[in-house]
Amino acid sequence: MSKLKTERCIESLLAVFQRYAGRDGDDCKLSKREFVAFMNTELAAFTKNQDPGVVDRMMKKLDLNSDGQLDFQEFLNLIGGIAVACHNSLVLNTQSR
Amino acid sequence: MSKLKTERCIESLLAVFQRYAGRDGDDCKLSKREFVAFMNTELAAFTKNQDPGVVDRMMKKLDLNSDGQLDFQEFLNLIGGIAVACHNSLVLNTQSR
C-alpha cells in the first residue's frame, strides 16, 4: 500500500527538522543559526524581500521556553501557523467569489 | 525552483483536509463521518486493529470547542500530536543505541 499523503507529510516534517537540527549542538533542537538556515532555504518564499529582523522576531515568538532554541513542538507551531494562515486566505478567497 | 519539502507538506495538509472536509456539510470543517473516513484511509496504520471506539474518543479530545466538528486548527493538533509522538520515539531509539 503506497505511503499516503498524510503519513508522507509527517515523515517529511520529521526529516526536515532532523536535517537542520542535526547540524550542530543539540541534535533535537534548532539553534538560531539552524533556524535561519531552515527559513532561508525551506521557506524562502516567506523570508525573501523581508527585513532580516523578521526571522529574529519569529524565533523569539516561537521559543516558548526561552532557551534560545526551538524544539520539535515549537517548530511544529511554526508550520501549523503558516498552514492556518494559508487555509484562512483560501477560505476568504472562496467566499469572496 | 522546485517546491521544497516543507512547502509541499503544508500544501498536502491543506489538500487532504479540504478533500475530506468538502464531502458534506461545512466545507471548512470535518464532520464525524468525514473524520472517520480520513482516519481509516489516511492514517489506517493508526486505526487498524484498534477498538472502533478509539476514533470516537480521538474526535472528542480534538474537538476543543465541542461543536461536533473539527476545524483546520483542531485537525492540525492531531497531525502535530502524531508527529511529536513519532519524534519522541525516534529520539528514544537513538539514545538507547
* ipTM reported for the complex, 2 dp: 0.86
Q: Assign residue A43 the CATH number of its domain.
A: 1.10.238.10
What is the DSSP secondary structure assignment for residue A4, as one 8-state letter?
P
At residue B5, the pLDDT reads: 86
pLDDT over threshold 80, residue B37: yes
What are the pLDDT digits (tens) for B42-90?
999 888 888 888 999 999 999 999 999 999 999 999 999 999 999 999 8
Determine the distance from the C-alpha atom of residue A21 to the mean position of all C-alpha atoms in its chain, rounded to a whole number. Answer: 12
Q: Which has more confidence, B91 or B65?
A: B65
For residue A57, the enclosing domain spans 5-95
pLDDT value at position B1? 46
Residues across chain A:
97
Best mutation target among B1, B2, B5, B19 (most A Cβ atoms within 10 Å) is: B5
- Residues 6+ away with beta carbon under 8 Å from B48: none
Residue of A nearest to B14 (CA): A87
Return the pLDDT at A1. Answer: 46
Q: A96 by DSSP, 3-state: which?
A: coil
- Name residues of chain A where pLDDT drops below 70: 1-3, 97
> Which residues are CB-neighbours of A17 under 8 A, at least 6 positions away?
A30, A72, A75, B87
Phi-psi region of A71 (alpha: psi -120 to 50; beta: other; left: phi over 0): beta
Across the interface, of B6, B41, B76, the residue whose CB is closest to A84 is B76
Whether residues B10 and A79 touch (CB distance < 8 A) is answered with yes
Domain total for chain B? 1
